[in-house]
């Protein structure tokens, strides 16, 4: 599963793979193996690189409050396994928001052109990946300032698709 997560003013790409208690977690190109156990009631025991941690997690909508070692982290999950994507520097404020491919695939259709006004969650690009069509949506309202792909083009994870302002 791939996500974008906002922690404070920083955006991170997070990828999870594995099953059961052993999970491979990649955050911005850095991968760590995590052995995690659900202790119930939002408490998790984790071993990361030989160090033990206990995390208390509370979820409200897309906001995760995670307490580890007396520190509280508020994490907003911005994308889900349906691969809605955004380079979120500015996705919730004004400024530029770059929409990137969350997985490799083939562009089936580009639904917008430069100059178009789009609403939050409006479809921008359709990418076929693993024999499924995935609609990539706008992370916020804005104006399309660049379209970097065309129908028929193949894309890799992280490739820039659309820029919004």
C-alpha span between 35 and 70 (Å, rounded): 21
Residue 1's pLDDT is 62
Of the pLDDT bands very low, low, confident and very high (cuts 50, 70, 90), residue 96 is confident
Is 73 in the same domain as 16? yes
CATH code: domain of residue 22 = 3.30.700.30
138 within some domain: yes
Residue 110's pLDDT is 97
148 within some domain: yes
20 within some domain: yes
The answer to whether the beta carbons of residues 100 and 87 sit under 8 Å apart is: yes
92 within some domain: no
Closest CA to 63 of 120, 137, 6, 121: 6
Residue 79's pLDDT is 55
122 within some domain: yes
Give per-residue pLDDT as tens, 99-132: 888 778 899 999 999 999 999 889 999 988 777 8
CATH code: domain of residue 112 = 2.40.50.100
Question: Residue 114 is part of which domain span?
Answer: 97-164
Give per-residue pLDDT as tens, 37-92: 888 888 889 999 899 999 998 877 677 889 998 899 888 876 544 334 444 334 44
C-alpha span between 71 and 87 (Å, rounded): 26
C-alpha span between 45 and 149 (Å, rounded): 43
Residue 95's pLDDT is 63
C-alpha span between 120 and 137 (Å, rounded): 8
Is 156 in the same domain as 101? yes
> What's the Cα-to-Cα distance from 67 to each of 6, 36, 48, rounded to whole Å?
16, 15, 16
86 within some domain: no
Is 16 in the same domain as 67? yes
Q: Are strands 142-147 and 160-164 parallel, antiparallel or unpaired?
A: antiparallel
Q: What's the total number of domains in the chain?
A: 2
Residue 47's pLDDT is 93
pTM exceeding 0.75: no
Is 136 in the same domain as 71? no
Of the pLDDT bands very low, low, confident and very high (cuts 50, 70, 90), residue 31 is very high
146 within some domain: yes
Residue 82's pLDDT is 35
Q: Is 109 exposed, middle or buried (0-12, 13-18, 19+ CB in 10 A)?
A: middle
């Amino acid at each position: 599963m791939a996500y974008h997560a906002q922690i404070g003013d920083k955006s991170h790409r997070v990828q999870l793979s594995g099953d059961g208690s052993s999970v491979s977690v990649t955050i911005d190109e850095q991968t760590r193996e995590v052995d995690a156990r659900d202790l119930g009631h939002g408490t998790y025991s984790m071993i990361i690189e030989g160090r033990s941690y206990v995390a208390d997690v509370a979820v409200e909508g897309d906001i995760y409050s995670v307490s580890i070692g007396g520190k509280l982290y508020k994490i907003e999950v911005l994308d889900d396994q349906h691969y809605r994507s955004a380079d979120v520097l500015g996705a919730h404020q004004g400024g530029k928001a770059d929409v990137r491919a969350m997985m490799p695939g083939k562009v089936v259709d580009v639904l917008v052109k430069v100059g178009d006004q789009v609403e939050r969650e409006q479809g921008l690009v359709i990418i076929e990946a693993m024999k499924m069509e995935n609609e990539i949506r706008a992370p916020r309202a804005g104006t399309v300032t660049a379209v970097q792909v065309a129908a028929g083009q193949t894309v890799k994870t992280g490739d820039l698709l659309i820029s919004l302002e």
